Amino acid sequence: MYSDFQHFLRELDAAGELKRISHPLSPKLEITEVADRCMKMPGGGPALLIENPVGYDIPVAINCFGSRKRMSMALGVGDVDEIANEIQALLQPEVPASISAKIKKLLELGRFAKAAPKKVSSGICQEVVMQGSEVDLTQLPVLTCWPEDGGPFITLPMVFTHDPNTGKRNVGMYRIQIYDKNTTGMHWQMHKVGAEHMRVAAEKKKNIEACIVLGGHPAYTFSAIAPLPPGIDEMLFAGILRRDAAKLVPAKTVDIDVPADAEIVIEGYVDPTESRIEGPFGDHTGYYSLADYFPVFHATCITMRSKPVYPATIVGIPPMEDAYMGQAVERIFLPLIRLTVPEIIDMHLPVDACFHNMAFVKIKKRYPGHAFKVMNAIWGLGQLMFTKFIFVFGDDVDIHDMRDVIFRIGANCDPMRDSLIVKGPIDQLDHASDLVGFGGKIGFDCTHKWPSEGFPREWPKLITMSDDVKRKVDGIWGELGIG
């Protein structure tokens, strides 16, 4: 397993997955344009190491997670499905009630005993320490991604905070807009755990300390985006994924432990009473998310390796690098979702709908109204609450085949009868709703309808050719000269 992020880069290089770019490229828009062209290539294009970002002496790594192979390499497996299958097998014997209980169960299992994070006294992430007037965030090759962006944004950060009541750690990926040498935006959205930690701190009339971490073992980055229930430690989850404990070193100016193998760590705090305009930002939605008031982060210290690499990504019109991260989340979390909603056979969040906007769900229908039960369950399940459109299919549909999906929606749905419209929390980035973070969602029952559901007519049979005729034509196909 990788000792740090640069080790991961070397392995990508050895596997022919990394392209080193020595041509000078500006972090202002130019790196985006090159990376975007790679990300739009079939299969995700190569990872890039931009060795000479104009104006900086820190190389930029981008698109490191941007293919199924690289995402799997990041987690130390041949394919992300291996982890899903392992979790599925491990969860078979016992069925605890909640997702948290299930993840805790995973942690209790002997083979994961060494997954718990370990505290160490030093790490490469603190080879260089800059405090006070030495703190200068403008030294970092932070990308200005799109022409109308409000400024440069750190795009692949892991934000470490602790719940001021329980002390429990959270690590979430929230973009960071650079305002000046030592202040940034803190874009933790209202439904995310970092924002909740800040609200708890506000109740105590205290600042919330935070560390913005870049690099380290790639399993950390994945864990920061993973929709883990609050209270489940991302560093523990990363330990399970990488089959080794995360080594954490105390930060210099705040009471937070950070990965010893990180490339760069920015320590500081957020004052819950302070906010500032953040954005606009060319976002996952394919549109610019609108400028709005967000908390402000004050950097008290920067620590880094003596020769760091700056990890970055860009988001925008799909497909982007995050397509492969999201695909890994979809596969790895399916077994956990299935234990809570066992009738779900499979689930697919299509990349072009920016993931949580749309879900195709395949179920084994057992009782009247079953599809509606599944929709309600999904809207009540962690970050799946953001799903704006849910389509529930029977077990004879390939939900990964858009042709099959569209065919069944068109053929099996009566929009009046088979839709369920609800309102509730939606992604804070959604620009179609009237209100920020609150709007409508719709589910469609695309299963075959039953008389017990009030369907008054006979449900027709799907057309299929008989097996004997198929076999016969298989046998003579070559002779027909069709090709």
Where on the chain is the footprint of ligand FMN (CB under 6 A)? 155, 170, 172-175, 187-189, 192-194, 224-227, 313, 315, 322, 325, 383
**Shortest distance (Å) from residue 282 CB to ligand FMN:** 12
For residues 266, 267, 273, 276, the Cα torsion angle rounded to the nearest 10 degrees is -10
**Shortest distance (Å) from residue 210 CB to ligand FMN:** 12
Q: Per DSSP, what are the bridge partners of residue 50?
A: 21, 60
DSSP 8-state secondary structure symbol assigned to residue 426:
-
For residues 194 and 272, which CB has a smaller minimum distance to ligand FMN in the complex? 194
Determine contact, residues 441/357, Cβ cutoff 8 Å.
no
CB neighbourhood size of 183 (10 A)? 17
For residues 144 and 447, which CB has a smaller minimum distance to ligand FMN in the complex? 144
- In angstroms, the first-to-last Cα distance of the chain is 48
**Shortest distance (Å) from residue 326 CB to ligand FMN:** 7
Which residue type occupies 184? T
For residues 75 and 224, which CB has a smaller minimum distance to ligand FMN in the complex? 224
For residues 21 and 173, which CB has a smaller minimum distance to ligand FMN in the complex? 173
Which residue type occupies 115? A
CA distance 380 to 383: 9
Asked whether the CA dihedral 365, 369, 372, 373 is positive or negative, the reply is: negative
Greatest alpha-carbon span in the chain: 82
DSSP 8-state secondary structure symbol assigned to residue 178:
B
Determine contact, residues 20/14, Cβ cutoff 8 Å.
no
Catalytic residue among 283, 427, 430, 445: 283
CA distance 374 to 328: 22
DSSP 8-state secondary structure symbol assigned to residue 186:
-
CA distance 154 to 212: 9
Is 255 a residue of the active site? no
**Shortest distance (Å) from residue 170 CB to ligand FMN:** 5
For residues 87 and 171, which CB has a smaller minimum distance to ligand FMN in the complex? 171
Q: Phi and psi of 343, rounded to 5°?
A: -75, -10
20, two tokens: 């080193």
SS3 category, 448: coil
For residues 233 and 418, which CB has a smaller minimum distance to ligand FMN in the complex? 233
**Shortest distance (Å) from residue 235 CB to ligand FMN:** 12
CA 475 from chain centre, in angstroms, equals 48
For residues 397 and 426, which CB has a smaller minimum distance to ligand FMN in the complex? 426
**Shortest distance (Å) from residue 106 CB to ligand FMN:** 18
Determine contact, residues 52/22, Cβ cutoff 8 Å.
yes
Distances (CA, A) of 319 to 404, 436, 439: 21, 25, 25
Q: Which residue has the tokens 């397993």?
A: 1
- Residue 23: which H helix or E strand, with range? none
Which residue type occupies 328? A
Asked whether the CA dihedral 227, 233, 235, 241 is positive or negative, the reply is: negative
For residues 303 and 327, which CB has a smaller minimum distance to ligand FMN in the complex? 327
240, two tokens: 């399970």
**Shortest distance (Å) from residue 163 CB to ligand FMN:** 11
Q: Which residue has the tokens 């692949």?
A: 156
CB neighbourhood size of 48 (10 A)? 24
For residues 182 and 327, which CB has a smaller minimum distance to ligand FMN in the complex? 327
**Shortest distance (Å) from residue 2 CB to ligand FMN:** 20
359, two tokens: 């879900």
**Shortest distance (Å) from residue 69 CB to ligand FMN:** 18
The residues assigned a catalytic role are 283
